[in-house]
Amino acid sequence: MVKQGQRIQDLVGLIHKLYAPELAEDWDNVGLQVGDPGRPLDRVMVALDPGLEAVEAARDAGAQALVTHHPLLFKPVKRLTPDDAVGKVLWTAVRDGVAIISAHTNLDCAADGLNNWLAQKIGVEQALPLQAVAGDYLKLIVFVPVGHEDAVSDALFSAGGGQIGAYDQCSFRSSGEGTFRPGPGTQPYIGTVGQRETAEEVRLETIVPKRKLLRVLEKMQKAHPYEEVAYDLLPLKNQVPGAGLGRIGKLAQQATLGEFAARVKESLGCDHLRLIGTDQMPVHKVALCGGSGAFLLQTAHRQGADVLVTGDVKYHEARQAEELGMALIDAGHFATEQLMIEQVIQSLQAAARQLNWGVAFEAYTGEEDPFRFY
């Protein structure tokens, strides 16, 4: 049975579940950029860029939300008028009721995200993150009287705690004794005011994304039988399983740089490529990063990559690759990222089907690489 009544905030939550905002770079701005979180939702358009034409296409298609890779807003807006590029998009989106939601570097870094899709597209197998990322997590430790540990843990999990990679409801339990003395005016669950009490308790530990902490604590306290709940929060910088910047893997069979470049060009539908290296250079181990990833050149070299596939390569980065004896393929920013449109649609459609949402997803097809070559 199809579930009706979805809202913009439900879509934002789903995107955050698939592409956790903790994975985004500090300078980035992901999530809801503009729009009413409570507005009803039944159609979504997906695009690479939040341009005026994309917003208008979403409006004309009857979509209440436009999901893009590149954010519309990076800096605080000092004025909102239709007289500049960003202001015009904002003005139009607000006027026409089109919410804009961005999944940028969190989509790049996600285990099943842009760089993973790029690796599959160009034939790179056994792809692993080129540079691991640490998530913004906390360890929550709470002490629960025996017999209530399941109710409290279920509350933590329902609010978003206990997720480790593809596993959920993750926790650890150990038993012990807790002591406390209820003070004047208290109404203790067990024990007597003014007398020290000893209780059999369970130490319950789980992991919580920092952005979900307040919700998790609220749920925990409602489910906990104690009047005053004892808990600890410890900051974590664990690596996120399968997530990270770029990817590195191998080709099924070794090729020359010329042969591999031809494969990349065909796979990504590029008008052209820029190459650093000779056509006969052997290529087996491949590093890649969609968009602007030449900053990962040294990292790729240290991990034994023969070539780095990315976009927006600068002159001095090309010279650095020559000095390292490593090949570079610049397929362009647009070509290495535009594949996210169909892939994000597939991911959102699959998740929406599981939730029985009555929401349609479609691609914006009006985008082209802004560069022309003669």
Extract the tokens encoding 269.
């539908």
How far the first Cα of the chain sits from its last, in Å, is: 54
Q: Which residue from 288, 264, 287, 339 is spatially nearest to 69, judged by alpha carbons?
A: 339
- Res. 81: pLDDT tops 90: no
Task: Please check whether residues 255 and 220 belong to one and the same domain.
Answer: no
Which positions ≥6 away from 54 have C-beta within 8 Å? 45, 47, 66, 68, 364, 366, 367
DSSP state string for 307-340: EEEEE---HHHHHHHHHHT-EEEE--HHHHHTTH
Alpha helices in 73-211 (DSSP H): 85-96, 105-109, 114-121, 149-158
Provide the pLDDT for residue 213: 95
Q: Which of 46, 51, 86, 82 is nearest to 65 (CA)?
A: 46
Q: Clarify whether residues 232 and 143 are in a common domain.
A: yes
Residue matched to tokens 């870094």: 109
How confident is the model over 297-333, as pLDDT tens digits? 999 999 999 999 999 999 999 999 999 999 999 999 9
Domain assignment present for 2: no
Q: pLDDT digits over 28-39, tens only?
A: 999 999 999 999
Task: Please report whether residue 3 resides in a domain.
Answer: no
- CA proximity to 325, closest of 363, 265, 277: 277
Quick one: average pLDDT of 174-186?
Answer: 94
* Residue 370 domain flag: no
User: Residue 371: inside a domain, yes or no?
Assistant: no
pLDDT > 70: percent of the chain = 99
20 and 70 within one domain: yes
Same domain, 331 and 359: no
Same domain, 183 and 263: no
**Spatial distance between the Cα atoms of 172 and 369, rounded to a whole number of angstroms:** 50
Residue 373 forms part of a structural domain: no
Q: Is there a domain that residue 368 lies in?
A: no
**In this structure, is residue 306 part of a structural domain?**
yes
Pairing of strands 231-236, 274-276: unpaired
Q: What letter does residue 7 receive in the DSSP assignment?
A: B
Q: Please state whether beta strands 65-68 and 99-102 pair in parallel, antiparallel, or not at all (unpaired).
A: parallel
Q: CB of 34 within 8 A of CB of 14?
A: no
Same domain, 50 and 83: yes
Last residue within a domain, chosen from 179, 210, 236: 236
Last residue of a domain, one of 191, 213, 236: 236
Residue 50: CATH number of its domain: 3.40.1390.30
pLDDT interval class at 206 (50, 70, 90) = very high
Percent of the chain past pLDDT 90, that is, above it, reads 88
pLDDT at 371 over 60: yes
CA distance 297 to 269: 24
Q: How confident is the model at residue 3 (pLDDT cuts 50, 70, 90)?
A: low
The CA distance from 346 to 341, in Å, is 9
Confidence of residue 1 (pLDDT cuts 50, 70, 90): low
* 225 and 204 fall within a common domain: yes
- CB-CB contact of 247 with 126 (8 Å): no
Residue 238: the pLDDT is 84
- What was the pLDDT predicted at 22? 87
Is residue 164 classed as helix, strand or coil in its secondary structure? strand
DSSP H or E segment with residue 66: strand 65-68
For residue 2, the model assigns a pLDDT of 58
The per-residue pLDDT for 240 is 83
In contact, 313 and 276? CB cutoff 8 Å: yes
The residue range of the domain holding 123 is 111-132+243-336
CB distance 285 to 306 below 8 Å: yes
The average confidence (pLDDT) of the chain is 95
Band (pLDDT 50/70/90 cuts) for residue 164 is: confident
**What are the DSSP calls for 221-277, one per residue?**
HHH--SSS--EEEEEE-PEEEEEEEEEEEEEEEEEEHHHHHHHHHHHHT-S--EEES
Q: Confirm if 37 and 12 have CB atoms less than 8 A apart.
A: yes
Shared domain for 357 and 317, answered yes or no, is: no
Burial pattern 221-243, b for ≥16 Cβ within 10 A else e, equals eebbebeeeeeeeeeeeeebebb
Which two three-digit tokens encode residue 50?
């939040």
Confidence (pLDDT) at 79? 83
Partners of 247 in the β-ladder: 129, 288
Lowest mean pLDDT among 112-121, 141-150, 236-245: 236-245
For residues 224 and 309, membership in a common domain is answered with no
Contact (Cβ atoms closer than 8 angstroms) between residue 101 and residue 15: yes
Distance of CA 204 to the CA centre of its chain: 28
pTM: 0.85
Within a domain: residue 23?
yes
Per-residue pLDDT at 311: 98
pLDDT at 274 over 80: yes
How many folded domains does the chain comprise?
Answer: 3
pLDDT band at 237; cut points 50, 70, 90: confident
Would you say residue 259 has pLDDT above 80?
yes
Residues 159 and 181 in one domain: yes
Give the span between the Cα atoms of 110 and 245, in whole angstroms: 9
Task: Identify the pLDDT of residue 154.
Answer: 97
> 216 with 147, same domain?
yes
Is residue 309 domain-shared with residue 351, that is, in the same domain? no
